[in-house]
Amino acid sequence: MKKGFKSGFAAIIGRPNVGKSTLLNQIVGQKIAIMSDKPQTTRNKIQGVYTTETSQIVFLDTPGIHKPQSKLGTFMMKVAESTFQEVDAVLFVVDVADGLGGGDRFIIEQLKNVKTPVFLVLNKIDQVQPEQLLPVIQSYKDLYAFAEIVPVSARNGNNVTTLLELVGRYLPEGPQYYPEDQVTDYPEQFVCAELIREKILHMTREEIPHSIAVQIEDMKVKDNGLVDISAVIYVERDSQKGIIIGKQGSLLKEIGKQARQDIEALLGSKIFLQLWVKVKKDWRNQEHVLKDLGFRLD
């Protein structure tokens, strides 16, 4: 272990759609967590790794805290709440443009039982005027004694470096858990599946988002360096299958085209991507199916 080297874990929490995944991607410098304007898009803890010469922070991007409506939803809530106790710092991300809401109050109540230092991270400062910030900050301070309060723009990167420096001060001395060039501990197949799911979220109607799962069935490198990927998109109803495929396969082709660009950037290689759509009725309420699809239920 390097003398004086600090390392530890930080959870990124908050209600759905406040920019947690955007913040994680900004920190590690590339896309490992999917981004969408639809809430509850993050389903597993996504570990992002940020390393400097003097420290390493391992970030967990948890599912947005919400009222669960299925076994999948209940699992997502357990993941988020269990994370509070496992880390060295908790980053509570809020949307400063929305201000304090009922969802934030609910999370703050959960945090009152946590001994871990909690940062209030006020995201989307690029969407408000500076004079609007202070009243919003005060409304949160009235409810909880935060260790640090940091306004940022996750999308533009404003003040993210300051946030990282502050988190580093709360870390204990420890080992370097991951190589300095590693940005996530998830396998490439998982990240590729998430990138495909992101494109579906962007392109489909409201009834689709939480009814889909993506599984990479096969991924191999050919002799010419081309990466051959076969992926299955699971939906719950036949009607959803038709929506994702689109007229004469047009939507599925566009999903594949956009996903291929992000996956090639991730892998640094040309890829051949095949997508299939299959129906698994009510998969979100079947534990064995959730485990087969890679959800960590323990």
- Going by pLDDT thresholds of 50, 70 and 90, the confidence category of residue 154 is very high
Q: Place domain 188-292 in its CATH homologous superfamily.
A: K homology (KH) domain (3.30.300.20)
Which CATH entry fits the domain spanning 6-169: 3.40.50.300, 3.30.450.20, 3.40.50.2300, 3.40.190.10?
A: 3.40.50.300
Helices (H), the chain: 20-28, 71-83, 102-111, 130-141, 160-169, 188-203, 238-245, 250-267, 287-292
Dig out the tokens for 105 from the structure: 């109050």
Mean predicted confidence (pLDDT) in 78-85: 64
Residues with Cβ < 8 Å from 243, sequence gap 6 or more?
Answer: 204, 205, 208, 251
Whether the pLDDT of residue 48 is over 70: the answer is yes
The domain ranges of the chain are: 6-169, 188-292
pTM over 0.85: no
Whether the pLDDT of residue 261 is over 50: the answer is yes
Mean predicted confidence (pLDDT) in 2-10: 88
> Among 153, 145, 144, 173, which Cα is nearest to 56's?
173
* Digit-coded pLDDT (tens) for 170-210: 999 998 888 887 777 666 777 788 888 888 888 876 556 56
* Residue 135 near residue 142 (C-beta atoms within 8 A): no
Q: Tokens 């269990």 label which residue?
A: 82
* Digit-coded pLDDT (tens) for 202-255: 887 655 656 788 888 888 888 887 888 899 898 888 888 888 898 999 999 999
CA distances to 57, 136, 275 from 64, in Å: 21, 21, 28
Query: How far is the C-alpha of 286 from the C-alpha of 290, rounded, in Å?
Result: 6
Helix (H/G/I), strand (E/B), else coil: 77: helix
